[in-house]
């Protein structure tokens, strides 16, 4: 599902966001004028972590429903498409709320990514990280997911994820948060 990871720091991510916003605005104006022919799609992911009782970071993983067309029964983080007139961060916040019922804090861009949705189409995206409270209650959307787990770095290998890129990004996030302790 994921094509390849693109590393980007905060400055590069801001430039990337600016370029995408200008392209999206231009294309959305053309789309209305041209009967929605030229639309661009952008994905966001919300990698939500918390600190467990031992103050070690854990990431929220959701198991995709078996009836999903792409990657059924595999584990992932929250995410989806950005809507018209929605910021990237707002889209990530909305996805986390819709898919897991969580309102988190400390939102940051982790990195850029691309998703190959079919052989001819690659969609760009941004991974946001956010922090949930230790006692956060997760309420998954049963249309999309059938289970969830808070997973530590040591247990991550036991979960079949939708991509190796996602695994690398999760490891990066958990290691960054673990070093901050």
The yes-or-no verdict on residue 57 having pLDDT over 90 is yes
Q: Are 46 and 130 in contact (CB under 8 A)?
A: yes
Please write the tens of the pLDDT for every residue from 137-146. Answer: 999 999 999 9
Query: Which region holds residue 22: left if phi is over 0, alpha if psi is between -120 and 50, else beta?
Result: alpha
Q: Are 153 and 174 in contact (CB under 8 A)?
A: yes
Q: How many domains does the chain have?
A: 1
Please report how many Cα atoms fall inside a 13 Å half-sphere around the Cα of residue 36, on the Cβ side: 2
Residue 48: give the domain boundaries.
2-180
The yes-or-no verdict on residue 1 having pLDDT over 60 is no
Give the pTM: 0.79
Which pLDDT score is estimated for 118? 84
Pick from 31-40, 50-59, 91-100: least confident: 31-40
Higher pLDDT, 78 or 84: 78
- Read off the CATH number of the domain in which 122 is found: 3.90.79.10
If you ran DSSP here, which 8-state letter would residue 117 be given? E
Which pLDDT score is estimated for 179? 85
E strands within 119-166?
A: 121-131, 145-152
Which pLDDT score is estimated for 108? 96
Spatial separation of the C-alpha atoms in residues 124 and 114, rounded to whole Å = 4
Q: What contacts 33, CB < 8 A, 6 or more positions away?
A: none
Residue carrying the six token digits 């009836």? 67
Which pLDDT score is estimated for 116? 82
């Amino acid at each position: 599902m994921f094509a390849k990871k693109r590393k980007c720091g905060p400055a590069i991510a801001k430039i990337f966001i600016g370029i995408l916003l200008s392209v999206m605005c231009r294309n959305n104006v053309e789309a209305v004028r041209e009967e929605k022919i030229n639309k661009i799609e952008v994905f966001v992911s919300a990698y939500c972590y918390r600190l467990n009782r031992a103050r070690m970071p854990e990431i929220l993983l959701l198991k995709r429903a078996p009836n999903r067309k792409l990657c059924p029964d595999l584990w992932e983080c929250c995410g989806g498409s950005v809507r018209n007139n929605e910021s990237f961060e707002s889209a990530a916040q909305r996805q986390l709320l819709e898919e897991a019922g969580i309102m988190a804090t400390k939102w940051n861009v982790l990195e850029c990514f691309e998703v190959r949705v079919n052989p001819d189409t690659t969609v760009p995206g941004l991974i946001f990280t956010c922090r949930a409270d230790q006692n956060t209650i997760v309420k998954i959307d049963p249309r999309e997911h059938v289970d969830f787990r808070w997973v530590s770095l040591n247990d991550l290998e036991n979960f079949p994820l939708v991509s190796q890129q996602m695994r690398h990004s999760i490891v990066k996030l958990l290691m960054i948060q673990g070093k901050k302790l």
